[in-house]
């Protein structure tokens, strides 16, 4: 009688056997980990720090992103008219520009208005009244129609600049490009640093797992001789890797929560000072879940690689 027919008769399928092997590997690996709480805790901390730092960086960027639309006020083109142009001519230009497809709105800033505003903003009103004539020209504030791409904007600027009576066209959009680039640079820097930290986590895990495997060398050798498959031998180590990684992920999630709670006060105050209704965005459930999944995945894969390397060297020896 073959062993397979005996197993079928007792209702013990291959799947049930496989599940039972997983259960016992999962349990024994867990017991081995908690039997050495300090060593395990240190591995968890290393993994947690390596995951929490990139996580914190992504969370910061997530917090910054919603603020950007606030800053992206419609780009405006300031058109300084020739000093000799009188009000009527300026209004004629305003009407003409208003008919353009590429222009959404044109506001005329009269030279006397501009002088008053300038005086108020600079506190030089007294000095300005002593001038015998207004040095400011009339000006037009032109809002381009959407989409306000860089090419559309530069074409518009060129067209306006070509009109007679226009002295100078000023586009106040450079600071936005700078901000864009600064954010992009920060994001890339964060990603590079994050990748380095995750690589560090992988190396730390690989090293720890190598020692965990090596500590059970005798067992591996015995099980191999008596017919244990590579999968059977590897299984407990895969669980060890999984626990190391997932545990580190849990700890990283907690760190992120603690961090965001800690800095929420000052950051929210900062938002308020800038008159923004924004609130700091907590890591929620998504961030910790992602960190745990990432940690578990890294642990499992690292353990797979470390055991494969170990076994192939064992075969070669």
Q: Give the residues lining the site for other proteins (CB under 8 A).
A: 3, 6-7, 10, 12, 14, 16-18, 20-21, 24, 218-219, 221-223, 225-230, 232
Residue linked to tokens 């060593």: 39
State in Å, rounded, how far the first CA of the chain is from the last one. Answer: 39
Closest by Cα among 190, 253, 258, 189 to 54 = 190
CB of 315 to other proteins, least distance (A): 9
- Residue closer to other proteins by CB (options 118, 232) is 232
Q: Give 6 or 178: the residue with its C-beta nearer to other proteins.
A: 6
Cβ-Cβ contacts under 8 Å for 91 (sequence gap 6 or more)? 108
Tell me the closest approach of the beta carbon of residue 53 to other proteins, in angstroms: 36
Phi, psi of 124 (to 5 degrees): -105, 15
- Minimum CB distance to other proteins smaller for 148 or for 235: 235
CB nearer other proteins, residue 179 or residue 221: 221
Q: Which is nearer to other proteins, 220 or 291 (CB)?
A: 220
The distance from CA 240 to its chain's CA centroid, rounded to whole angstroms, is 30
**37 or 286: whose CB is closer to other proteins?**
37
Separation between Cα atoms, residue 223 and residue 30, nearest integer Å: 20
Which residues 6+ apart lie within 8 Å of 95 measured at CB? none
Could you tell me the smallest distance in angstroms from the CB atom of residue 4 to other proteins? Answer: 10
| 79 or 220: CB nearest other proteins | 220
Taking the C-alpha atoms of residue 171 and residue 142, their distance in angstroms, rounded to an integer, is 10
CB-based burial label for 162 (10 Å; 0-12, 13-18, 19+) = exposed
CB of 39 to other proteins, least distance (A): 16
- State the minimum distance, in angstroms, from the CB of residue 233 to other proteins: 9
Residue 42: CB minimum distance to other proteins, A = 22
Shortest CA distance to 237 belongs to which of 175, 176, 300?
300
Least distance to other proteins, CB of residue 208, Å = 19
Residue 143, beta-bridge partner list? 105
């Amino acid at each position: 009688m073959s062993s397979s027919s005996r197993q079928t008769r007792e209702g013990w399928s291959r799947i049930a056997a496989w599940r039972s092997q997983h259960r016992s590997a999962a349990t024994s690996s867990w017991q081995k980990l908690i039997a050495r709480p300090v060593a395990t805790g240190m591995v968890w901390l290393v993994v947690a720090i390596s995951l929490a730092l990139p996580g914190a960086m992504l969370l910061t960027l997530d917090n910054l992103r919603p603020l950007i639309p606030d800053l992206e006020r419609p780009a405006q083109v300031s058109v300084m008219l020739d000093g000799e142009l009188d009000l009527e001519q300026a209004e004629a230009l305003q009407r003409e520009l208003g008919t353009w497809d590429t222009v959404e709105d044109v506001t005329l800033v009269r030279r006397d208005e501009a002088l008053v505003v300038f005086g108020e903003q600079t506190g030089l009103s007294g000095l300005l009244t002593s001038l015998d004539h207004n040095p400011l020209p009339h000006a037009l504030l032109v809002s381009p129609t959407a989409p306000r791409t860089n090419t559309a904007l530069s074409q518009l600027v060129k067209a306006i600049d070509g009109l007679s009576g226009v002295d100078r066209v000023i586009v106040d959009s450079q600071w936005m490009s700078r901000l864009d680039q600064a954010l992009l640079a920060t994001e890339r820097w964060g990603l590079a640093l994050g990748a380095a930290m995750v690589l560090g986590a992988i190396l730390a895990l690989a090293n720890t797992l190598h020692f965990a495997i090596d500590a059970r060398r005798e067992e591996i050798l015995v099980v191999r001789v008596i017919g244990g498959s590579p999968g059977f031998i590897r299984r407990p180590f895969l669980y060890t890797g999984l626990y190391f990684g997932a545990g580190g992920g849990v700890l990283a999630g907690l760190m992120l929560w603690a961090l965001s709670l800690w800095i929420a006060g000052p950051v929210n105050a900062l938002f308020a000072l800038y008159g923004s209704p924004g609130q700091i965005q907590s890591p929620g459930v998504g961030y910790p879940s992602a960190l745990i999944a990432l940690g578990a995945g890294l642990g499992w894969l690292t353990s797979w690689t470390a055991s494969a390397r170990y076994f192939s060297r064992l075969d070669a020896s």
